[in-house]
């Protein structure tokens, strides 16, 4: 069967049966297209162990225009896409290489950038003022840190889905999985002050500034019928986070995900178990959550130094 047609069916399978996001589908499309363009094959049965091995050698030796090689983690993304495609082919009873024969290479341990509590407080305090924009930005920063949200989860929240009395809400994460997240007292207060200032009827929790609202109310905007005109985009959130990090005098390269890392790090540093953190972050695998064990490892080191060294000193 034609491998290009099978690739299209696989991408449709990801969208319909697996409920993957358009971004994920686009990534898989890219990885598989590069593989198939390199392989120059027409049929799925031509995907062999030797072919995949040759492609992995190609990826490992590849250099961009600046002479930089592909990172190991990026190489693994290609391999993961190929494995997923092969699993799909097996379910369709299409003859091809068994997915189990394709091993994913070991990625180097990720270094997690996070802010300490003082840096987070400085960022949040940098969002001062009583105008709609200032109140909105403070609520964004508070909620990112309070709930450990991904930026895609944050921008998709509608205000009728947030329950300030119970201080919780449901968010749709990766793979369309829904989880409950919790809102701190300060985050709830910031969101309440922001919503009191809102005068529009847009369903989105976080919307653009007043100038955009005026445009939305205009006849031209109403003719367009775009109800998402006011909803902030992930790129807008990134700009907001970077702006307040700079305003707070933080020299690190801060992204929305940095606040998610800070949330997880803060939980572990204060005694939360890793399974609870996994659940709150919405990680499907505990392995993903284990990137934060640098915190618990440091704590263990301090415990060892304090108690084991004390025991040795008593003996002396």
Query: C-alpha dihedral over 119, 122, 126, 129, to 10 degrees?
Result: 140
Three-class DSSP category at 158: strand
| Range of the structural domain that residue 55 is part of | 3-101
**Element of type H or E holding 28:** helix 22-39
Q: What is the reported pLDDT for 305?
A: 66
Q: 3-state SS of 77-131? A: HHHHHHHHHHHHHHHCCCCCCCHHHCCCCCCCCCCCCCCCHHHHHHHHHHCCCCC
Residues 13 and 61 in one domain: yes
Q: Is 109 left (phi over 0), alpha (psi -120 to 50) or beta?
A: beta
CB atoms within 10 A of CB 55: 20
Which CATH number belongs to the domain containing residue 171 in this structure?
1.10.443.10
Catalytic residue list: 150, 174, 257, 260, 283, 292
For the entire predicted model, the pTM comes to: 0.67
Q: What pLDDT score was predicted for residue 220? A: 45
CB 19 within 8 A of CB 177: no
Q: What pLDDT does 223 receive?
A: 44
> Is 280 a domain residue?
no
Same domain, 76 and 47: yes
C-alpha–C-alpha distance, residues 177 and 284, integer Å: 9
Question: Which residue numbers in the chain have pLDDT < 50?
Answer: 219-227
Q: Do residues 81 and 150 both lie within one domain? A: no
Q: Are residues 150 and 182 in the same domain?
A: yes
Residue 193 lies in a domain: yes
């Amino acid at each position: 069967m034609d491998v290009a047609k099978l690739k299209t069916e696989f991408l449709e399978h990801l969208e319909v049966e697996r409920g993957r996001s358009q971004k994920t589908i686009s990534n898989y499309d890219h990885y598989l297209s590069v593989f198939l363009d390199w392989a120059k094959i027409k049929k799925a049965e031509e995907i062999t162990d030797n072919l995949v091995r040759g492609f992995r050698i190609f990826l490992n030796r590849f250099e961009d225009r600046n002479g930089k090689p592909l990172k190991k983690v990026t190489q693994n993304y290609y391999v993961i896409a190929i494995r997923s495609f092969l699993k799909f082919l097996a379910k369709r009873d299409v003859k091809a290489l068994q997915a189990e024969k394709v091993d994913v290479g070991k990625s180097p341990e990720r270094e997690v950038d996070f802010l300490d509590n003082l840096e987070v407080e400085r960022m949040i305090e940098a969002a001062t003022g009583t105008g709609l924009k200032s109140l909105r930005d403070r609520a964004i920063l508070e909620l990112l840190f309070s709930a450990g949200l991904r930026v895609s989860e944050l921008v998709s929240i509608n205000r009728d889905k947030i329950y300030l009395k119970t201080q919780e809400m449901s968010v749709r994460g990766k793979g369309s999985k829904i989880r409950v997240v919790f809102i701190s007292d300060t985050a709830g207060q910031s969101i309440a002050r922001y919503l009191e200032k809102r005068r529009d009827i847009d369903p989105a929790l976080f919307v653009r500034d007043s100038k955009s609202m005026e445009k939305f109310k205009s006849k031209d905007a109403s003719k367009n019928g775009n109800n998402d005109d006011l909803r902030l985009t992930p790129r807008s959130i990134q700009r907001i986070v970077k702006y307040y990090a700079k305003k707070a005098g933080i020299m690190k390269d801060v992204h929305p995900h940095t606040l998610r890392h800070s949330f997880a790090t803060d939980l572990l540093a204060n005694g939360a178990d890793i399974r609870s953190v996994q659940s709150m972050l919405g990680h499907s695998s505990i392995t993903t959550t284990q990137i934060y064990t640098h915190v618990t490892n440091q704590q263990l080191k301090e415990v060892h130094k304090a108690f084991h060294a004390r025991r040795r000193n008593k003996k002396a």
